[in-house]
Amino acid sequence: MASFLGHSAALIAALAVLPQLVGEFWAYTLALYFLYAIASLGIGLCWGQAGFLPLGQAMFFGLAAYLSGLSLIHFKDSWLLLLLLPGAALAPGLLAYGIGLLVFRGRTLSGPFFAMITLALTLLAFQIANSWNDVTGGFNGLKNIPGLPGLSDFTDLYYISAVALAVCLLGIAWLRRAPAGVVWRAVAQNEQRVRFCGFALQNVKAAVFGLSGVLAGIGGALYAPQQNLVTPQLCGFLLSADLVIWAAVGGRATLYGPVVGAVLIGILTADLRDEISYWEVILAAIFIIVVLYFRQGLMGFVEPRFERLWRRRTERTLDSPARPEASGDTGLADAGFALDDVRVRMGSVNILEGLDLEIDRPGIYCLIGPNGAGKTSCFNAMTGELPVRSGHIRIFGRARTGTAADLLSRIGVGRKFQAPSLFPDLTVAENFNIGLWGGRARLRDLVRMGSHGWSSAILREAQSRFPFLAEEDRRAGDLSHGQRQILELVMVLIAEPRLLLLDEPSAGLSQAETQEVIEAIRWVGGRLNACTVIVEHDMTFVRELADRIFVLHQGRLLASGTVAEIQADERVRAVYVGASA
């Protein structure tokens, strides 16, 4: 907190003194690039934090500029401007949020799809602005837009931009350090794990995109009164491209990178464009080189060193709030799940062919079967990762066929994957926090620094069982394979699920670690009164843990029973020995 205040004071002082140092002309030029910088900050959020790249950010900048320009022309000197101008800045945010929900809902992959859709939208926005003469003024745009009432000279304009930039920077600095920022970086690392921790991925990404829309909106809304002119180019792909280049060259993952990029390159461009005819080509080449070799950008060399100076981890002093109980599904009868004649098909291969499986009380159950029996697919079908062709799935007594993983996680289904699925570039502490926040944190918890200090009895117990988990400042990706397995398991456990799906939790573990994991599973299962289902090949593991075993073969349930019953079962033997069943 103290560091945050110090940081704010330094930033504000620097921005206040700047015009005295550089003179009026440069202050005016800077004011314009500050507005672009605000929009570029939005690219930093989307691309540098949450990992998806918008290529059409100018449409939001342009939209806000048109809205603000029209408001100023038609309601000059009216008090209505006090509502209209903020509205002009917020409207693009709403639009971005809507587009985000629409696009991210369809496809969870960030890849090229989102980028291309935004690029197409910005071209569309340009076309509309260019051809809708009655409203936008067509090719010539809106001219003679009045300035903001009460502001006259260039220095005033500078201060307006500088204040807007400072407010945006400080807001972003806060969010980046708050839990929200951790969730964003987690999204960039591993979307699947974020969903399975209970976060509705499309909402998170749409919110980030919406926020970036607001930032572009603030820039655009101030652009109109500052420049007194709004043309269709402001929505076009060239400005969109510039915003991305600035963020990339300045350093997309850093706080100040987009600002440094926008101001530095913007001013260089203004200066050199006419002198060097190939300046734009050189700029594109610089961008390519940054993408290839210097992904962290200019500020990437500087900022991390400072961050390390003042970043200290919050001690875990608060017990996390209890998980909200899902209504109407208490009682033992609804503790488990049931698969009824479930069929799953991939391409021309039938993976599950009428699988029936029912578990109706807490306990530890093992799913075994030869490779290709459909064990992992059974988990995938239950968690909505594989489309179910026919049949029904009930979880905790409710129909849950095809229910999305994040909702399942929030009602108490936890899943550990076969290969450790966590956030390698986040610290162990941040990995835990994602597990703790998912399903528990409300929106306001995600913007509060205090939520970094959440703890829980299960986490403390896990840290005493596995001492390496207490070294919370380590990068998760630096842990050994076995340690990552355990970290993921604990991430799932601290969400306190009532149905635990564990896919080969002991794979790659040493014998001592396996023993620890067995004890941890038994302890947690008992404490949470959970239904634990484990896919496992290691028979010692199965023998030691399983209350009951289910044997899958060729997408169907072959047998079920106690360890002794299964060991005596002729059909099971036949399957494992290789005779046809």
- Judged by CB under 8 A, does residue 348 bind other proteins? yes
Which residue of 76, 78, 83, 111 would you call a contact of other proteins, by CB under 8 A? 111
Identify the CA nearest to 105 among candidates 202, 199, 195, 187.
202
**CB 93 to other proteins: min, Å:** 20
Token digits of residue 127: 């076309």
Closest approach of other proteins to the CB of residue 542, in Å: 33
Work out whether 395 is an interface residue with other proteins (CB under 8 A). Answer: no
Pure H helices in 334-423: 375-382, 405-411
H-helix or E-strand containing 149?
A: none
State the alpha helices, DSSP H only, in 495-538.
511-528
Please spell the DSSP secondary structure of 60-80, one letter per residue: HHHHHHHHHHHHHHHTTT-TT
- Applying CB under 8 A, does 285 fall inside the site for other proteins? yes
- The answer to whether residues 76 and 246 touch, using CB atoms and an 8 Å cutoff, is no
Report which of 269, 262, 266, 233 is spatially closest to residue 248, judged by C-alpha positions. Answer: 262
Q: Which of residues 219-258 bind other proteins (CB under 8 A)?
A: 237, 241, 248
Stretch that binds other proteins, among 97-105, 388-396, 489-497, 543-551 (CB under 8 A): 97-105
How many angstroms separate the most distant Cα atoms in the chain? 92
Q: Does 131 bind other proteins (CB under 8 A)?
A: yes
Q: With contact defined as beta carbons under 8 Å apart, do 66 and 136 qualify?
A: yes
* CA dist., res. 399 & res. 477, Å (int): 37
Q: Name which of 291 and 399 has its Cβ closer to other proteins.
A: 291
Q: CB of 32: closest distance to other proteins in angstroms? A: 22
107 forms part of the interface with other proteins (CB under 8 A): yes
Q: Return the number of the residue (94 or 128) whose C-beta is nearest other proteins.
A: 128
Tell me if 291 contacts other proteins by CB under 8 A. yes
Q: Is 402 in the site for other proteins (CB under 8 A)?
A: no
C-alpha to C-alpha distance for 36 and 270, rounded to whole angstroms: 13
Rule CB under 8 A: is residue 128 a binding residue for other proteins? Answer: yes
Q: Is 289 exposed, middle or buried (0-12, 13-18, 19+ CB in 10 A)?
A: exposed
Question: Residue 458, exposed/middle/buried by CB under 10 A (0-12, 13-18, 19+)?
Answer: buried
For residue 206, state whether it binds other proteins (rule: CB under 8 A).
no
Contact between 280 and other proteins per CB under 8 A: yes
**Least distance in angstroms from the C-beta of 238 to other proteins:** 9
Choose, by CB under 8 A, the member of 53, 262, 382, 489 that binds other proteins.
53
DSSP secondary structure letter of residue 547: S
CB of 285 to other proteins, least distance (A): 6
Q: Does 295 participate in binding other proteins (rule CB under 8 A)?
A: yes
Give me the residues that bind other proteins (CB under 8 A), please. Answer: 53, 55, 102-103, 105-107, 110-113, 115-117, 119-121, 123-124, 127-128, 131, 237, 241, 248, 277-278, 280-281, 283-285, 287-288, 291-292, 295, 347-348
